[in-house]
Amino acid sequence: MKKAIAALLLLAASSSLVLAQGMPTIGIYDDANYTICYGNISQYVTKTVYFAAWLPPEIPSMTACEFAVSGLPGPAEAILTPTWTTTLVIGTLDYDLALAWTNPQVGPWVLLGTLAIFPLAAFPMDDLMTVVPGQACLCLTIVDGDFVEHDAAGGMYTFNCSDPAGCLCFEETATEDLNWGSLKSLY
């Protein structure tokens, strides 16, 4: 039990680092509360993951986003069924996906959609999916309610995580890599 609590605290701390820097993020989560970014997956049992954007206070709403996902299971590994919260969808998750809404979506959390994964084969331990820039535009962006584009950070999701303390939602940024403004925002 103590290990589980310690792992959750470490996970929250690592996720909070990106969020505390004020950068909008698009993450992949195991739960509708957007707190856990890893989960077990078994052959022939559907697994649903949640795609959500976190908006910092200076970006109160969003009208669009664009991203891709690396590490998606291939057709021989799983059947993927995405369900987005908008019908304005262009592209595919593995190459370049653009989502847009006719009404601004209010943050700080915005559910983008879900992905149901039906595994046709066993998944290995620590199999990783990552939100990345799309290949067509080379961008990972969120468009705010005023139609201004903002660079976003991409999250990670780990299937069959062998060490929850090591399965982070976002890549850690070393303190020496932070600029002074983002370091001040942590306090």
How confident is the model over 115-171, as pLDDT tens digits?
999 999 999 999 999 999 998 888 899 999 999 999 999 999 999 999 999 999 998
How confident is the model over 39-78, as pLDDT tens digits?
999 999 999 999 999 999 999 999 999 999 999 999 999 9
Contacts of 20 (CB under 8 A, 6+ apart): 185, 186
Domains for the chain: give ranges and CATH numbers. 24-163 (2.60.40.680)
Residue 3 DSSP label: H
